């Protein structure tokens, strides 16, 4: 009996991404050019259908991501974050009142909304303000609502947060490197406190288990 292997939307996305990375060595240009590729992926009905079967992420003292793919040559990963409205890491005992404001350290990230709506907040260090290893005062520079199909490019060390609007959400996240084993910045808007913590725990799952 002949076994027929069906190419999935993930297979096509990986192929397109690898071709782009092979032809464009500049990281900034790569990640700008990858945005429409991810938008096309988000619009694929097979991805939308499959996402209903993905497990909801579990939050402890750290966030959690679903991990679908890690590229052996270029290092990029395909993650997802599926969460209920109350899903967020436990408040750090040493940093009460933390509202999830963070950076992704040295990596590039594309955050593509698949299901639901969220608010994205952007911040930056206050220009000219005193900084110490444990103190980086920041200010909000913008916020915007995102809906299915929207893709947000987060560059290295850009400070941001995602806010629930009271509904279950699911996002496909493409990172230039797998998170979880290097430190990322954490910020408190009210106090200026700065500290570092590990990124999301990686939970390996199949995007299309029936394939």
For residue 211, the model assigns a pLDDT of 54
Query: What is the mean pLDDT of the segment spanning 41-64?
Result: 93
pLDDT digits (tens, 9 = 90+) for 140-199: 999 999 999 999 999 999 999 999 898 999 999 999 999 999 999 999 999 999 999 999
Query: What is the mean pLDDT of the segment spanning 27-53?
Result: 98
Domain 9-118+147-180 part of CATH 2.60.120.10: yes
Query: What is the mean pLDDT of the segment spanning 72-97?
Result: 84
Task: Answer yes or no: pTM beyond 0.85.
Answer: yes
pLDDT digits (tens, 9 = 90+) for 200-211: 999 999 999 875
Which pLDDT band holds residue 88 (cuts at 50, 70, 90)?
A: low
**Cβ atoms of residues 24 and 30 within 8 Å:** yes
Check pLDDT > 50 for residue 1.
no
CA–CA separation, 160 and 158 (whole Å):
6
Q: What is each CA distance from 161 to 15, 40, 112, 120, 154, in whole angstroms?
A: 30, 24, 14, 6, 11
Give me the percent of the chain exceeding a pLDDT of 70. Answer: 95
How is the chain split into domains, by residue range?
A: 9-118+147-180
CA–CA separation, 6 and 25 (whole Å):
31
User: Is residue 37 helix, strand or coil?
Assistant: helix
* 158: its two tokens: 């850009």
Residue 142 CB coordination number (10 Å)? 10
């Amino acid at each position: 009996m002949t076994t027929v292997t069906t190419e999935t939307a993930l297979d096509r996305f990986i192929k397109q991404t690898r071709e782009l990375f092979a032809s464009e060595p500049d990281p900034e240009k790569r990640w700008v050019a990858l945005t429409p590729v991810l938008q096309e992926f988000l619009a694929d009905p097979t991805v939308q259908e499959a996402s209903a079967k993905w497990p909801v992420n579990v939050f402890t003292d750290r966030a959690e991501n679903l991990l679908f793919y890690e590229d052996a040559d270029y290092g990029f990963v395909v993650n997802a974050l599926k969460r209920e409205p109350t899903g967020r890491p436990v408040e750090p005992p040493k940093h009460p009142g933390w509202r999830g404001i963070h950076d992704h350290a040295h990596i590039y990230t594309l955050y593509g909304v698949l299901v639901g709506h969220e608010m994205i907040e952007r911040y930056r260090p206050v220009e000219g303000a005193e900084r110490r290893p444990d103190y980086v005062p920041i200010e909000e520079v913008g916020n915007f609502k995102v809906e299915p199909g929207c893709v947000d490019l987060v560059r290295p060390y850009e400070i941001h947060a995602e806010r629930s609007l009271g509904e279950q959400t699911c996002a496909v996240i493409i990172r230039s490197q797998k998170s979880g084993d290097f430190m990322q910045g954490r910020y408190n808007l009210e106090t200026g406190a700065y500290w570092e913590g590990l990124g999301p725990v990686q939970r390996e799952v199949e995007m299309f288990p029936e394939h």
